[in-house]
Structure formats: structure tokens, C-alpha cells
A and B are shown apart, each in its own frame.
Chain A
Amino acid sequence: MKLVRDTWIVFRRYFGKSLSSLPYMGVSLAQPVLYLVLFAPLLNSVADMPGFPGGGAYNVFVPGLLVQLGLFSATSGGWGLIAEVRAGVIERLRVTPASRAALLLGRTLRDVIMLVVQAALIVMASVPFGLTLRLPGLLLAFGLMALIALLMASISYAAALWLRDENTFGAIVFSSTLPLLLLSGVLLPMSLAPTWLQHVAAFNPLLYAVDAQRALFANQIGDVSVLKGFLAVGGLAVLAVAAAARSFGRAVA
């Protein structure tokens, strides 16, 4: 009960902070549309290439774009956290009787909501281009989006608390997100990859997330890739949340 109350209070603060920052909101909302506008012209020609999965260019592309958005925007939470550690905000919060887990979950919930809103914008903007929507699949797809945001934000926060340094954190974010993205099949389908690369990609949870999202946007709810995606992302999200909550509870020495 206290966890829920405290999480809500912490969420309200960070969500309010985001809402009141016009540049932040502007970039957050423009970013997905920008992705769409820039990538859309490339799509139609790529879709005709051999090895590209079937099902309509946008139904293949948009699910990948959503995963990419999750990867990029949720990982950025760590920057703000490092600044807060430096300003003493985190220390101040840790001396209050607030639930330690709530201090993490409240801000993560903000990240999840922001991402779901961004995702909804992309989906709506894609409909005129030919994206087809079917309800059960769409709802599950958003559920998976929320899990991806939870996973990425938690990893980002745990890393930020561990590193405490914007430069190192930035280097790690930039050097890890691109390989993860390439090996997830978002930009180019992994079916085009040589066998050894496919084996490497098999360790990337985002690959399963992308496959699951594509199945869901095709409304193939029963597809085994959906189950795999939820298990991979959900399982890791549980671990990541636990690790990040632990970092919050531990001393910020």
C-alpha cells in the first residue's frame, strides 16, 4: 500500500516535471514523427527486397520503430538521474521514509507512460500510410512496449547509479545501443544476416521483442514469437527492476 502511494507521489513529481518542460515535451513528441517522416520514403523500396518479411511495409517497419524508440528514449533516463545524484536530490529522498523501491518505480512509471504516448503517436501517424490495426494485437503490443520501457529505464538507472559520471554513462549508452539495434532486426531484417551473426543476435532480447511486435501488429497473437518476446523482455525487466531498486536502496556513497 505504501509502495503504491509512494510510487504515485514520485511519479506525479517526475511526470509533472516532464510536462512543465516545454523543450522536453516538444522533442519527445516530435521525435517519433520525425523518425516516421525520414524513414517512410525508404520503406517502400526496401519492402520489395528479397528476404524482407511479408505483411505490408508499415506493419513490418512500425513495430521495429517502436522498439527502437523504447531503446533510445528510455535509456536516456540515466542522464537526469546522474544530475540528481550530483545535486544531492537522491540523497535527500533516501533520508525520507519513502519506500526505496517507489523512488525507482515512480520515475520508471513516468518513462513508461511517456514511451506509450510516443508509441501511440507513431501508430496513429502511420495509419494514413497504410498501417493496419487490429485491437487485441495492438493492446498486447502496447503491453510489450511498456515492458520494454520498464526494462530499458531500469537498466539505465542502475547503470547511472553505478557509474555516476555522464561521460562514462554516455560512452556506454552510445556503444551499446547501436549494436543492440542492429542485431534486433529493426533496421534490416536479421534474415538477411549470415548464420554466425544470427547466432550472435540470438542473445539480444530486443530481437525477440521486435519479432513479437511484428507478430502482434499482424494480429498473430498465438504466434510463438509473441510468447518468446514477452518472456525475454518480461523476465529481464524483473531482473533489471530488482537490480535498480537495490541500487537505490544501497548507499549513494
Chain B
Amino acid sequence: MMKSAIQARGLRRTFASRRGEVEAVAGIDLDVPSGAIFGFLGPNGAGKTTTLRMLTTLLPPTAGSGAVAGFDLRAQPHKVRERIGYVGQAGGTDHSVTGRAELVFQSRLYGLSAGDARRRAAELLTAFELESCADRATETYSGGQRRRLDIALGLVHRPEVLFLDEPTTGLDPQSRARMWDEVRHLREGGTTVFLTTHYLEEADALCDQLAIIDHGRIVAEGTPDELKRAVAGDVITLGVQDPQIALQLLNDRSLVRDHDPLSPHSESLRVYVDDGEAALPAIIRVLDERGVPLETISLSRPSLDDVFLRQTGRKLREEAA
């Protein structure tokens, strides 16, 4: 059995404000299996960053418990810090310092000797293709280069768990694709990656597991496919002359879970099923047996945008803007 790289039970954080206590994270449970890419989604202000800050020892929880890389957040934050990497939204490089100097400094802080730190820095500069700009101040870096340096800084000590706070925000599509490759590469090496993102297609393409947080609570979690299926099911669109009759037949056999409202004079029917691949042949068979001519049929999956909309009542992208 795989151990959990990240585990949280009832993790909660409140902040004092002028209007009294504000609950940023209202008691959440998390289990991130070792070696997974875990996506943490939510609109701004949902509690994403607060959760991340608790898991990275930056912020003590108000209540609840958590363990990262096998060590308790409260009792042994130092042990946790030795085993995690963290790349914040802002990145955290000093603009007047060179990439190489940042990597050496960071390595030294993780306990490497001066010689080892220099070697590790050179290794990472090669791995992240930063050699050409290694000895320039980071203010001259492109967005993609700076982000790659940020990630390299989080990896100097070969952490078991890497936390990435919106790693691709503000990157052009090419740099984003590059970053996805880097993250997948980390998983191949056995690193657990916990990332937050505003981009649902990113979560869909990259993550093994997802959790959606809203108003400080986890409102949905699972694999991207599970989430989409649980919330909306698969969508089957049928081209039939009389949708009313077709729907009646399918309902009689309990083949569909839900459908879009029928509109008069329309020759198409949209139905929701739990498992599209299994439902498709059954639907075709039923209609064929009853002599209902089927002109077209298509199967599509709901997007994570649908999931997010259903779970939070909001669109993620609007929040991101």
C-alpha cells in the first residue's frame, strides 16, 4: 500500500478581522497518495492559498492536524521543511541576484556544503536549460525562464513533496506546456506534486487527483474523470425525429439519469448517463428494436468547467480575472 504524502484531518484556520473572526479554511480532510500529481482548485478567496500555507508550515493551523512527508505539521515542522519544496505564486527570486547564486544560496540553506551546493546548482541549471542565463541577474529572465528557476529552487534538496502555487499563471502556452512536462517528469522521479491552479484544462491534463475547495470547504474530490462523472455524468446527444418518443423509450429502460429540457420542433435530444461507453450500445439497441430511426449519436464528457460550475455555482475563470 502506498503511504500518504499529505494527510490532513479537520484542518482549520481562522483569521481575526475587524468584523470578527473569518474562517478561511473550515476544517478539511486531504489524502494525497505518494507519487501523485494532486490538483487543488478553487476560486480566489476560497481557502486555497491558506491551505497551502498550512501544509508548508508557513502558517500554523487553528485546529485539526496534518502530516506531510510522514511528519506532523505542528510537532515537527522542521522535519517537514527538510522534505518539502515550495514554489510560491510570486516565485521568490531576488531580481538583482543571478540564477546560479540563488540556487547555491538555496542549497546551502538546505544544509549542502559549498562544493555540493555549486554542483547541485550546475546540475539544476542544466536540467532546466538555464545555463545560458545562469550568470545573469534574474531580472533579465523571460517569464518561462524565471518560472523554471523558481521550480529548480524548490528542488535543490530533492524533496519528497513539491508544492506549486499556480505554477503556470501568466505563462504563454508554450511555456505552460513546458511546465507540464517538467511536472510530469517529477512524478516519474517519484516526487509528489501538490499544485493549485486556475486553469481547469491544466488540472484535467496534468493531475491524477483533484479537490475543489470553496468557502473553506472541500466540495468535491476524486480523479478528473470521477469528478466529471459524479457531477454531470457523460453527455449523449441523439439526432432523432421525435425526441419525445425516444426519451420515453430510454426512460422506460432506466437508461438515462437526466436530460436537457426538450424544445419543440427540435430533432435532437441531450441525455446524461453514468457511463457513456456502456450506455451507447444499449441506447442504439433499444431505439433500433422499437424502430425509432437514429440519425446521429455522439458521446461527450462534461468539462471540469461544468463540474466547477455545478459545485461552486461560479465559473472559475471569471474569478481568476
Contacts and interface: CB of A to CB of B under 8 A. Distances in A.
Interface residues of A, number: 24
Interface stretch (A64-72, A88-96, A131-139, A195-203): A88-96
Contacts of B56: 95
A98 interface: yes
B305 to A, nearest CB: 29
Contacts of A86: 90
A87 interface: yes
B59 A251 contact: yes
Contacts of B58: 91, 94-95, 251-252
Given A16-B101, A253-B15, A98 B90 contact: no
B82 A87 contact: no
Interface in A53-96: 84, 86-89, 91-96
Interface string B85-96: 110111111111
A211 to B, nearest CB: 40
B105 interface: yes
Interface string A85-113: 01111011111111000000000000000
Given A94-B58, A96-B81, A251-B59, A87 B106 contact: no
B92 A96 contact: no
Interface in B49-89: 53, 56-60, 78, 81-82, 84-86, 88-89
Interface of B: 15, 53, 56-60, 78, 81-82, 84-86, 88-97, 101, 105-106, 108-111, 153
Contact of A93 (B57, B78, B109, B111): B109
Given A95-B84, A97-B109, A98-B109, A87 B91 contact: yes
Contacts of B90: 86-88, 91
Given A87-B91, A96-B106, A97-B110, A251 B60 contact: yes
Contacts of B15: 253
A17 B94 contact: yes
A220 B60 CA distance: 52
A252 B82 CA distance: 20
A175 interface: no
B246 to A, nearest CB: 57
A92 B111 contact: no
Given A97-B111, A251-B53, A87 B94 contact: yes
Nearest to A103: B109
A13 interface: yes
Contacts of B78: 97
Contacts of B57: 95
Nearest to B117: A9
A20 B101 CA distance: 12
Contacts of B81: 95-97
A25 B160 CA distance: 41
Contacts of B111: 97
A21 interface: yes
A22 B269 CA distance: 72
Which of A92, A94, A251, A252 is the most central at the interface, judged by chain B CB atoms within 10 Å of its CB?
Answer: A92
Contact of B91 (A88, A94, A253): A88
A242 B135 CA distance: 36
A243 B182 CA distance: 41
Which of A91, A93, A95 is the most central at the interface, judged by chain B CB atoms within 10 Å of its CB?
Answer: A95
B96 A21 contact: yes
B73 to A, nearest CB: 12
Contacts of B96: 17, 20-21
B202 to A, nearest CB: 21
Nearest to A8: B108
A128 B97 CA distance: 39
A246 to B, nearest CB: 14
Interface in A1-39: 6, 9-10, 13, 16-17, 20-21
A84 B94 contact: yes
B109 A88 contact: no
B16 to A, nearest CB: 11
Contacts of A9: 105, 108-109
Contacts of B60: 251
A98 B105 CA distance: 11
